[in-house]
Structure 1
Amino acid sequence: MPTDRQDDALTTLMLPFANGLLDWPEAGGALFLRARDGWPLHRQPLPGLVCEQGFRPEAKALAHSGLALREEGEAADRRFPLVMLLPPRQRAESRALMARAVAATAPGGRVLACVPNNEGARSAEDDLKHLVGKVSSLSKHKCRVFWSAPLEGGVDADLLARWRDLDAPRPVLDGRFHSRPGVFAWDRVDTASALLVEHLPADLRGRAADLGAGFGYLSHALLGRCAGISALDVFEAEARALALARRNLADARVPVGFHWHDVTEGLPGRYDVVVSNPPFHGQGRGDRPDIGRRFIQAAAQALEPGGRLWMVANRHLPYEDVLDAAFGEVRVHAQRDGFKVIEGTRARGGGRPR
């Protein structure tokens, strides 16, 4: 069942087919990079459509609608007569994805992309022009959809090779970690996580979970500071980030489980400690405090009696009511640089919070 949410970028991406400017390929199918589900994908038959999406909630929505999914890099030698993409706003990541789209296009095929105007639509269109030459475009719904002429040569091979490597994993933070563009705070320690680590007590012990772990900085700090942690589960909805966390925690002193998982759906295990710097945006720009609230609820439901949540959040986000409802004791340990460090302790005895 397709989602009925309004997705202007997806709607605009499919306009050239709805308007008769482009025809869906009769054979060979199409590849959709960073695909999202929505009614525009179900308005007309799209035979042979294959989707790729590394963000767990979006991947689940695509699968739930019956659309074919593949993992990044799967069947990498296959070429398609049409490759569609919704480029991310991070420029290096966007260029790398665009280069991969061009490389996955069969001779005579097209690349089709759409970007919201306020996320660099004209720059993204210019990037495709640099790679392939002639590009056509259409603007609607405050978005810009643009597509190549049939690719019969003329691709800038040197630029293509350079751009494909722009989001490759690389050492960051003096070589202590590996990261890549597009991952949250990919080349630095974000201020919120640094504040949380500064205040983490050394006496945390038992089974631990890191919710929304990114490339693994907070997990690494937890294991380094708290000798009593005996096992760790890492939860991350973005597959690209989870792969980095797996690499960065490969030499961890305790068993580590890595889970491509949407924390808002709850947690599968029981823990003595949960740490988190929960996201407060979805894939758009607006605040989504509901995500952080669900992280808090999921943590409370998974913690053993007496278990402790240590989290950091923007000071303005309204989490106090859900924290008070889920935990027997709540303390704010620090407020600085627009963030707050909070500890919640599960009450001993009684049932699990709802």
Structure 2
Amino acid sequence: MTAPQADPALQALLLPVADGTLAWPRDGALFLRARDGWPLHERPLPGLVCEQGFRPDALALERSGFDVREPDESKYPLVLVLPPRQRDEARALFAEALARLQPGGIVVASAANDAGAKSHEADLARIAGPLVSRSKHKCRVFWTQPGATGGDAALAAQWRTLDASRPIAGGRFTSRPGVFAWDRIDAASALLAEHLPADLRGHAADLGAGWGYLSMELLRRCPGITALDLFEAEARALELAQVNLAPFAQRAELEFHWHDVTTGLAQRFDAIVTNPPFHAQGNAARPDIGRRFIAVAAEALKPGGRLWLVANRHLPYESVLDASFGSARLVAQRDGFKVVEAVKAAHAAGHGTR
């Protein structure tokens, strides 16, 4: 594991196990929305199975030797949950946790006080009955009581589908709660799409593709694009992109990659579009992620290749654009966003094309 980082919600989540309030089951446990951190390494946790759809977190868990699996219907005596901020997604996750319990099993969840901890606790209590809860590290950890009455199984069944895929934008696209800009066309991406030039051509990539809006606009506006690779770290969003891009399958060669862009790209491209993330999973500001996206784009473009980028106007990307590209220009500014085109120097050392 890399150097320890503060993760109060994870620390609170393991507190009932750490102090002996709850015994670690011999048959292991399931950890939904799992992420690595030093609290997982303080004591043996035999049989821990992790499910995580966010690629950087999944890779960190694998590097630490944890068992990371695709979701299935296996049941466990203990299910650990770190609920997300989006409430429908969190409610669906609580219902999923209950459905994955063995008879007499326990669900333990934790959230920061400023990330909706009390609301999350109330939601779990609605479907599971009275909970035990504690406050620690500016978080709340709460867990179910086997055999407790007062839960609502019918409501839990309804909640399990709250994050299901559904039409948005008048039926033009498919999305689901919990992914970025899940119920709308993101204003920044729309601004970039509006300014995409029709002469982009060849093999293109969309970095941080989300549910696929920019990729669809790129193919719709740029007839010279013959192949398009979508890179997205969130598996739930990438699945949606595959659905949304299906009508374009005959229009261009499409590839979908569950990938952390910050680790670099092996392919080379003629054009790249991106609306890079600038927040971590915990919602902390991380402009370094966007800067890394730009540097990776520069590495992945062929000489003369073009990057089309949209970002919040205040984000300090100019230095990395100047350092990474032969030229960059501000194309448009509106509603707090900026669109930039950057061109890879034509005399740059070439790489093999795919």
Provide the TM-score with structure 1 as the length reference. Answer: 0.96
Question: 2:198 touches 2:221 (CA, 8 Å); kept in 1?
Answer: yes
* Alignment-derived partner of residue 31 in structure 2: 32
What is the CA RMSD across the aligned residues, in angstroms?
Answer: 1.3
How much has 1:4 moved relative to structure 2? 1.0
Aligned 1:1-354 pairs, distance under 5 A: 1=1, 4-26=4-26, 28-72=27-71, 74=72, 76=73, 78-151=74-147, 155-252=151-248, 253-351=251-349
Name the CA shift for 1:272/1:105 in 2 (closer, same or farther; >3 Å): same
How much has 1:22 moved relative to structure 2? 1.1
* Cα distance in 1 between the residues matched to 2:268 and 2:278: 24
Question: 2:130 touches 2:150 (CA, 8 Å); kept in 1?
Answer: no
How much has 1:154 moved relative to structure 2? 5.5
How much has 1:286 moved relative to structure 2? 2.3
Counterpart secondary structure, 2:61:
helix
Question: 2:207 touches 2:231 (CA, 8 Å); kept in 1?
Answer: yes
How much has 1:221 moved relative to structure 2? 0.3
For 2:14, the aligned partner's letter is M
How much has 1:157 moved relative to structure 2? 1.6
Residues paired across the two proteins, number: 349
Q: Give the stretch that moved more between structures: 332-341 or 283-292.
A: 283-292
How much has 1:152 moved relative to structure 2? 6.6
Question: 1:10 touches 1:40 (CA, 8 Å); kept in 2?
Answer: yes
For 1:38, the aligned partner's letter is G
Q: CA offsets, 1:266-288, max 9 Å, x none?
A: 11100000000000001122211
Q: Structure 1: 5+ residue runs without aligned partners?
A: none
Name the CA shift for 1:70/1:152 in 2 (closer, same or farther; >3 Å): farther
How much has 1:153 moved relative to structure 2? 6.9
How much has 1:21 moved relative to structure 2? 1.4
* Cα distance in 1 between the residues matched to 2:256 and 2:92: 26
Question: 2:129 touches 2:148 (CA, 8 Å); kept in 1?
Answer: no
Q: CA offsets, 1:45-83, max 9 Å, x none?
A: 1111100000000000000000011112x2x1x211100
* Cα distance in 2 between the residues matched to 1:257 and 1:34: 26
- The alignment-based identity, stated in percent, is 64
Counterpart secondary structure, 2:209:
coil
* Cα distance in 2 between the residues matched to 1:291 and 1:305: 24
Counterpart secondary structure, 1:296:
helix
Question: 1:223 touches 1:229 (CA, 8 Å); kept in 2?
Answer: yes
Q: CA offsets, 1:59-115, max 9 Å, x none?
A: 00000000011112x2x1x21110001000000000000000001011111000001
For 1:91, the aligned partner's letter is R
Question: 2:55 touches 2:260 (CA, 8 Å); kept in 1?
Answer: yes
* Cα distance in 1 between the residues matched to 2:62 and 2:146: 30
Question: 2:176 touches 2:182 (CA, 8 Å); kept in 1?
Answer: yes
* Cα distance in 2 between the residues matched to 1:315 and 1:93: 30
Q: CA offsets, 1:221-258, max 9 Å, x none?
A: 00000000010000000000000001111121101000
* Cα distance in 2 between the residues matched to 1:100 and 1:131: 11
Runs of 4+, deviation exceeding 3 Å: 151-155
Question: 2:130 touches 2:149 (CA, 8 Å); kept in 1?
Answer: no
Name the CA shift for 1:151/1:324 in 2 (closer, same or farther; >3 Å): farther
Provide the TM-score with structure 2 as the length reference. Answer: 0.96
How much has 1:352 moved relative to structure 2? 6.5
For 1:19, the aligned partner's letter is D
